[in-house]
Structure 1
Amino acid sequence: MRRLLVLLVSLALLWCLWWAAASYGLRQGVTSLLQDRRAAGWQAEARLVQSGFPLRLDGRLEEVALVDPTGGSGLTADHVALSAPAWWPGFVTLDLPETPMTVTLSGQPFRLRAQDARMNLRLHPGTALELESATVEGRQFLLSTAQGALLSGDRASLVAVQQATDPVYDLRLETDAVTPGDVIRAMLNLPADWPRAFDALALRGSVGFDRPVDRAALDGVPPQPRLIAVDSLDVRWGEIQVGGEGRVTIDADGIPTGTVTLRLARWQRLLDLASDTGMLGPAPRNQAQLLMGGLANIGGQDGDLEVTLAFADGQMALGPIQLGPAPRILLD
Structure 2
Amino acid sequence: MRGLLWVSVLLMGLWSVYWFIGRTAVDRAAVGFFAMAPAQGLEAEHKGLSVAGFPNRFDLTVTEPSLADRQTGFGWQAPFVQIFSLSYKPWHVIAAFASEQMVLTPYENLSITSEKLQASVVVEPNANLTLDRTTLIGAGLGIASSLGWDFKAENLRFATRQDPSRENVHQIGLDLLALTPDQSLSRLLPEMPALIEKVHLDAFLGFSAPIDRLAGQSRPELQLLEIKEASLGWGDLAVFAKGDLPIADGSPEGRVDLRIEGWRRLLPLIEQSGAVKAEVLPTVERMLETLAAQSGDAEVLEVPLIFAGGQMRLGPLLLGPAPRF
TM above 0.5, yes or no, is yes
Structure 2: which amino acid aligns with 1:112? I
Taking structure 1 as reference, are residues 311 and 197 closer, same or farther at Cα in structure 2, changes over 3 Å only? closer
Taking structure 1 as reference, are residues 315 and 33 closer, same or farther at Cα in structure 2, changes over 3 Å only? closer
Q: Distance in 2 between matches of 1:101 and 1:269?
A: 34
Tell me what 1:190 maps to.
188
Residue 188 of structure 1 contacts residue 277 of structure 1 at CA under 8 Å; is this kept in 2?
no
- Aligned to 1:196, the other structure's residue is in SS state coil
**CA drift at 1:89:** 1.3
Structure 2: which amino acid aligns with 1:247? D
Tell me what 1:119 maps to.
119
Q: Distance in 2 between matches of 1:119 and 1:25?
A: 22
Q: Distance in 2 between matches of 1:257 and 1:63?
A: 40
Q: How does 1:1-332 map to 2 (within 5 A)?
A: 8-37=8-37, 40=41, 42=43, 44-67=45-68, 73-98=74-99, 100-106=100-106, 108-145=108-145, 150-164=150-164, 166=166, 167-180=168-181, 184-186=182-184, 189-190=187-188, 192-222=190-220, 224-249=221-246, 259-271=255-267, 281-299=277-295, 301-309=297-305, 321=316
RMSD over equivalenced CA pairs, Å: 3.9
Size of the aligned set, in residue pairs, is: 323
Segment of structure 1 superposing worse, 7-16 or 283-292: 7-16
Residue 44 of structure 1 contacts residue 67 of structure 1 at CA under 8 Å; is this kept in 2?
no
- Aligned to 2:144, the other structure's residue is in SS state strand
Taking structure 1 as reference, are residues 315 and 295 closer, same or farther at Cα in structure 2, changes over 3 Å only? farther
Unaligned runs of 5+ in 1: none
Once the two structures are superposed, what CA deviation does each residue of 1:98-139 show, in whole Å capped at 9, x if it has no partner?
2x2222222633221112210110112222211111111110
Q: Distance in 2 between matches of 1:185 and 1:133?
A: 35
Identity of aligned residues (%): 24
Structure 2: which amino acid aligns with 1:218? G
Taking structure 1 as reference, are residues 78 and 226 closer, same or farther at Cα in structure 2, changes over 3 Å only? closer
Structure 2: which amino acid aligns with 1:240? L
- Aligned to 1:126, the other structure's residue is in SS state coil
Residue 195 of structure 2 contacts residue 234 of structure 2 at CA under 8 Å; is this kept in 1?
yes
Q: Distance in 2 between matches of 1:316 and 1:299?
A: 26
Once the two structures are superposed, what CA deviation does each residue of 1:8-61 show, in whole Å capped at 9, x if it has no partner?
555434433332232222222222222234565736123112110111000111
Once the two structures are superposed, what CA deviation does each residue of 1:151-192 show, in whole Å capped at 9, x if it has no partner?
112111111122337433222111221111xxx322663254
